[in-house]
Amino acid sequence: MEDTVEERSRQTASQDWREAEGFPAPMPAAVPRRRWWPLAAVVGLTALLYVGSAPISDLYDELDTQYSGAAREMVRSGDWLVPTNNYLPRLQKPPLVYWLTAPSLLVFGENEFACRLPTALIMCLLTALVYLIGERLGGPKRGLMAGLAVAASVGWFIFGKMVMPEAYLTCFVTGAFYCILCGYEDESRRRRWYLGAWAFAGLAAMSKGLHGLAYPLVAAAALAVLNPHARAALRPLFSWRGVLVFLAIWAPWYAAMEIKFPGFFDYHFINEQIGHVTGTHYPQDDTPIGFNQFILQHGIWFFPWTLYFPAALVIWFRHLKDRAEDPLPERLLLAWIGVVGVAMIISTRQDYYGMCGWPAFALWLSQLWTAPRPGRRVVRNLIRGGLIVFLLIGMAGLVAAALEEHWLNGGAPPSVIPAASRDNFINAIEGFSANSWRHLLPVMWAAFGSLTVGAAAALWLAWRGRETATAFALTAAMIVPLFGAAKGMSVMAPYFSLADVARYVNKNAGPADKVLCENEAHAASSLFFYLDRRVHWLDVPSQIEFACREHHIGEDMFVPEDALPPMWNSAERVFIIIEESRVPYWAEKVGVPAGSLKPLATSGTRWLISNR
């Protein structure tokens, strides 16, 4: 088969590198024909997991319903320019996630499936892009393995199932890196590929912020600085045409918001984007997690593929100087990981903030299946050791399920901390007493049983030297646990969502009845999606909202504590959402015995009470 122009340019770049850095000349190889079945397989698996689980579980407070609620209000109000929560302008983040979610609500109705479908499709696109990068780096097998690591990992599923900008940001950043790689290797179409990178960066910036532009550009610039022989190929990336493409996507909405809401630029860029990096943003509505915890959690997010990390590290160290082709594409992965890593070191971290670097890690890990292996026995033993750990995790989970069912606090009532305190992954787990998880027993038995059987099968295949089949066995073993995670989110949803309370109000409240909530908006944002009226915030300062603070919009939606007793004792019906632990406090405020307040409906630890 004759070489294509693209392949010839790649070989030329490779030869230039090898001559400059003293590598031996590579052996000529035939250009492989693209195989579509691996791409279809990883995208199909992603669709099965993400689209298939989209209807499962109510939407959660915080990000899930801040974005879903804003999309719902766009559809209802007809205003697609200004995102709103509780019909107050929500200008913390750019609007692309709302714009992609709202049409799904128009087509499929106001339900959980419609909210999650666009994110599920974005995850399918992300998997495809990861596959295509892996295919360029090492052929279809590498693309397949990297795609499987994205499709069937715990962290991807938890955060990729939620309606939040991280999946969109990560997908479009990955698209930008794919275009940079293609442009570097394809001289004949280099400028077009690089314009594509700027377009993807524009979409990334419209998903969450300017780091969608910074990550790919800083990584490419670092490569050009550290690798002088790549500068000529990378220089066209930094062009005024690319800047114009980016601005055409990014600038119009920002200009419109500054015109409509003077002071928006300062609030959005200084307070929100820079402030979240430096920890100076107002209000302080999140709790940063420590760096050590952040790193350790990634062992969970990449499970089960983290078990391959020691073997992949050995392969990488042994082949730093033994690349068959131009090493710059592999270095692009390291620059990608490095740029995101530095951002995580200096920022106020949340559980999911490193997600933009996860595709690069999956691609780096996938070298394990394609790189040559001197000292193969060491690598095989490390893989087997990881699979033994996998098997022990499955068996330990079965033991935990048995303990939960028969021995742990069998007679004691469950104990749960208030919803506002369960604001990150570790706090959410630690906030429940051991016997609170008893509702998840069927899920635990199925999930850990699948892990145990899958680990045993993978270990048997590994001992027979069938390493690709081992990865397939691991992937298959994760399908039941991931669907189990979706089911678990559904079972525990009342503790993280006010959907049940909102449904009661929608069914029983009159048109003039008011709903008050003592939490700040981000901790009760499920009301934005499930409640059919605006909610008033009890004893929450209006100044936390930019629209109230700077433009005096919606100040009447904030009710001071002293205004509650007259409202409670009036002829007007008032519904109030409070924490169960705060019942005595509010009973004293309105002048009634605490025992006289009974919940009309509950959502986990939160009660709905009323004066009528």
Span 208-229, pLDDT tens digits: 999 999 999 999 999 999 888 8
Please report, for residues 400, 401, 444, 461, 482, the alpha-carbon distance to residue 404 in angstroms, rounded to integers and kept in the order given: 6, 5, 10, 32, 20
* Ramachandran assignment for 582, one of left (phi > 0), alpha (psi -120 to 50 degrees), beta (any other): alpha
Tell me which of 325, 341, 369 is where a domain ends.
369
Q: pLDDT per residue over 234-260, tens digit each? A: 999 999 999 999 999 999 999 999 999
Q: What percent of the chain has pLDDT over 70?
A: 91
Higher per-residue pLDDT: 421 or 177 = 177
Q: Which residues of 433-454 are buried (b: 16+ CB within 10 A; e: fewer)?
A: eebbbeebeebbbbbbbbbbbb
Coil/strand/helix, residue 256: helix
- 318 occurs within a structural domain: yes
- 2 occurs within a structural domain: no
Taking alpha carbons only, the member of 464, 407, 370 closest to residue 146 is 370
Q: DSSP code of 261?
A: S
- 15 occurs within a structural domain: no
Q: DSSP code of 367?
A: G
Provide mean pLDDT across the span 535-547. 91
* Cα gap 202→220, rounded to integer Å: 16
* Ramachandran assignment for 86, one of left (phi > 0), alpha (psi -120 to 50 degrees), beta (any other): left
* Cα gap 470→365, rounded to integer Å: 15
Tell me the whole-structure pTM to 2 decimals. 0.91
**pLDDT score, position 408:** 62
- 230 and 342 co-located in one domain: yes
Question: pLDDT at residue 418 above 90?
Answer: no
What is the pairing mode between strands 536-538 and 84-85? Answer: unpaired
Highest mean pLDDT among 66-75, 326-335, 435-444: 66-75
Higher per-residue pLDDT: 105 or 353 = 105
Higher per-residue pLDDT: 535 or 10 = 535
- 126 and 242 co-located in one domain: yes
What would the two tokens of residue 581 be? 């632990």
- 517 and 456 co-located in one domain: no
- 111 occurs within a structural domain: yes
- 573 occurs within a structural domain: yes
* Cα gap 442→491, rounded to integer Å: 11
- 284 and 364 co-located in one domain: yes
- 25 occurs within a structural domain: no
- 457 and 567 co-located in one domain: no
What is the pairing mode between strands 606-610 and 601-603? Answer: antiparallel
Question: pLDDT at residue 30 above 60?
Answer: no
Residues in the chain, total: 612
Specify burial of residue 324 (Cβ count, 10 A radius: 0-12, 13-18, 19+).
Answer: middle
- 541 and 394 co-located in one domain: no
- Residue pair 104/119 in contact by the 8 Å Cβ criterion: no
- 341 and 215 co-located in one domain: yes
Helix count (H) and strand count (E) of the chain? 27, 8
What would the two tokens of residue 474 be? 């691991």
* Cα gap 95→83, rounded to integer Å: 7
- 488 and 503 co-located in one domain: no
* Cα gap 437→397, rounded to integer Å: 13
Listing DSSP states for 118-178 in one string gives: HHHHHHHHHHHHHHHHHHHHH-HHHHHHHHHHHHT-HHHHHHHSSSSHHHHHHHHHHHHHH
| 8 alpha-carbon distance from chain centroid | 38
Tell me which of 446, 475, 493 is where a domain ends.
493
**pLDDT score, position 373:** 60
* Cα gap 269→141, rounded to integer Å: 42
Taking alpha carbons only, the member of 442, 10, 24 closest to residue 193 is 10
- 243 and 122 co-located in one domain: yes
Tell me which of 444, 464, 493 is where a domain ends.
493
Listing DSSP states for 51-111 in one string gives: HHHTTSSPPPTTHHHHHHHHHHHHHHH---SS-EETTEE--SS-SHHHHHHHHHHHHH-SS
**pLDDT score, position 575:** 95
* Cα gap 278→274, rounded to integer Å: 6
What is the pairing mode between strands 558-559 and 536-538? Answer: parallel
- Residue pair 355/344 in contact by the 8 Å Cβ criterion: no
- 23 occurs within a structural domain: no
* Cα gap 361→341, rounded to integer Å: 11
Amino acid at 456: A
What would the two tokens of residue 65 be? 């319903």
* Cα gap 467→382, rounded to integer Å: 12
589 lies in which domain range? 499-610
Amino acid at 159: F
Higher per-residue pLDDT: 558 or 348 = 558
Provide mean pLDDT across the span 317-328. 66
Query: What would you report as the CA-atom Rg of the chain, rounded to the nearest whole angstrom?
Result: 26
What is the domain count for the chain? 3
- 42 and 63 co-located in one domain: yes
* Cα gap 198→241, rounded to integer Å: 9
Lowest mean pLDDT among 18-27, 136-145, 485-494, 581-590: 18-27
Coil/strand/helix, residue 424: coil
- Residue pair 66/500 in contact by the 8 Å Cβ criterion: no
Question: pLDDT at residue 19 above 90?
Answer: no
- 271 and 304 co-located in one domain: yes
Question: pLDDT at residue 34 above 70?
Answer: no
- 483 and 505 co-located in one domain: no
**474 φ, ψ to 5°?**
-60, -45
- 20 occurs within a structural domain: no
Higher per-residue pLDDT: 189 or 407 = 189
H or E, element range at 298: helix 291-301
What would the two tokens of residue 471 be? 């990865």
- Residue pair 95/253 in contact by the 8 Å Cβ criterion: yes
**pLDDT score, position 4:** 46
What is the pairing mode between strands 558-559 and 606-610? Answer: unpaired
What is the pairing mode between strands 574-579 and 606-610? Answer: antiparallel
**191 φ, ψ to 5°?**
-65, -35
Coil/strand/helix, residue 609: strand
Q: Which residues of 273-289 are buried (b: 16+ CB within 10 A; e: fewer)?
A: bebbeeeebeeeebebb
